[in-house]
Amino acid sequence: MGLLLLLHVLLVAVVARAPATEAWGKEGHYMTCKIAENFLTEEASTAVKDLLPGWAGGDLAETCSWADTQRFRYKWSSPLHFADSEGGCKFDYARDCHNRQGETNMCVVGAINNYTAALKDSSSPCEQQSHHSFLDPSRSSLTRCTANQPTTTLLSAVDPTESLMFLAHFVGDVHQPLHCGNADDLGGNTIIVHWYRRKSNLHHVWDVNVIETAMKDFYNNDMGTMIKAIQLNITEEWSNEEKQWETCRTRTKTCADKYADESAKLACKAYEGVEQDSTLEDDYFFSALPVVQKRIAQGGVRLAAILNKIFSGNRRLQSS
């Protein structure tokens, strides 16, 4: 963990407390979206707030775990949260983006592309590059596109509010390395470990345990303080990298495949030295924490870039 980040924790005297949460679990998604809010253009911020459900209170971050609560309601959405690799250390869309039934495009990368396309034209959403329609056929459907030419058939409009909430969540997911882990162990879910004295699994370590331990040890269990520390690193320690994070030159889809490939490479390192029944303590924690913090930062910056492009056509971010 960078010295700058630790020093910042000591300097922050008053920070508005973020809501208490249980868990890239809830905490990681909240932080990703809260960072994104600070990089939205004024036009994009207004458009986002107009789409948010009333219960969000105008706060995008409040909705960013919504997709996890819908897995039983929308069972088709379960495979959209990850993109486990069958090749190790590298994500390949053609090989890896499918569900257990072999349906193509059913992974987190396909989902990001799909819901970005849906939001670009919520009255006539279409699948860029023929991406699968993830929406429940009994509820709604997407118009399909081939090349960049939409078909003339529109079954029904997609709910733009749900599209926004799915997109915000999935951009967070693709930046969690173990959401792009090994397919044969379900992204570390079948690797049972002990996180210090507590039984866990490798996927949960990266989803929840690293963040919880950091919150307890360095941030007085105050998520707002941790968010402020990450934001400071974006503007100072990572300032030379931030512009590269947001850059995406493709016009027909997002750069989510690139983000998944980054995560797959980081996942490879996350597996190093870990076996069934391993005990992971300080050495692992201090190597994982900087990765977690940077991936949350990258997820926030990139989510804002996607939303800015959708709602204002502005590729440059403006930090508020």
Mean pLDDT is lowest, of 2-16, 114-128, 191-205, for: 2-16
| Of 155 and 132, the one with more pLDDT | 132
Region 204-224: mean pLDDT is 97
- Six token digits for residue 21: 């949460």
Q: What is the pLDDT of residue 158?
A: 76
DSSP string, 139-191: T--PEEEETTEE-S-------HHHHHHHHHHHHHHHTSGGGGSBGGGTTTTT-
Residue 316 located in a structural domain: no
- Six token digits for residue 317: 């971010």
Give me the phi and psi of 85, to 5 degrees please: -95, 140
Determine the straight-line distance between the first and last CA of the chain, rounded to whole angstroms: 26
- Tell me which DSSP letter residue 193 carries: E
Is 274 buried (19+), middle (13-18) or exposed (0-12) by CB count in 10 A?
middle
pLDDT tens-digit readout, 57-99? 999 999 999 999 999 999 999 999 999 998 779 999 999 999 9
Examine the pLDDT at 292 and tell me if it is beyond 60.
yes
CATH number for the domain harbouring residue 261: 1.10.575.10
Residue 223 located in a structural domain: yes
Q: What is the pLDDT of residue 191?
A: 98
Provide the domain limits for residue 298. 3-311
> What is the average pLDDT score of the chain?
84
SS percent in the chain: helix, strand, coil, step 5: 55, 5, 40
Separation CA 290–CA 274 (nearest Å): 18
Residue 276 CA from chain centroid, whole number: 27
Mean pLDDT is lowest, of 8-12, 232-236, 312-316, for: 8-12
Separation CA 242–CA 234 (nearest Å): 7
| Residue among 17, 42, 13, 30 at smallest CA distance from 316 | 42
Q: SS3 of 35, please? A: helix
| Of 162 and 142, the one with more pLDDT | 162
Residue 318 located in a structural domain: no
Q: What percent of the chain has pLDDT over 90?
A: 75
Residue 317 located in a structural domain: no
Asked if 203 and 183 touch (Cβ cutoff 8 Å), the reply is: no
Asked if 309 and 171 touch (Cβ cutoff 8 Å), the reply is: no
Q: What is the pLDDT of residue 313?
A: 58
Residue 49 located in a structural domain: yes
Tell me how many degrees the CA angle 247-206-72 measures, rounded to the nearest 5.
90
Examine the pLDDT at 2 and tell me if it is beyond 90.
no
Separation CA 60–CA 63 (nearest Å): 6
Separation CA 114–CA 94 (nearest Å): 16
Is 76 buried (19+), middle (13-18) or exposed (0-12) by CB count in 10 A?
middle
Phi-psi region of 49 (alpha: psi -120 to 50; beta: other; left: phi over 0): alpha
Residue 320 located in a structural domain: no
Q: Is the pTM of this model over 0.85?
A: no
Residue 252 pLDDT level (bands cut at 50, 70, 90): confident
Q: What is the pLDDT of residue 312?
A: 83
Q: What is the pLDDT of residue 7?
A: 40
- State the alpha helices, DSSP H only, in 187-281: 202-204, 210-218, 223-235, 239-246, 256-271
Residue 178 located in a structural domain: yes
pLDDT tens-digit readout, 144-201? 333 333 332 222 357 999 999 999 999 999 999 999 999 999 999 999 999 999 999 9
Residue 151 CA from chain centroid, whole number: 30
Q: What is the pLDDT of residue 155?
A: 26
Number of folded domains that form the chain: 1
Region 273-294: mean pLDDT is 98
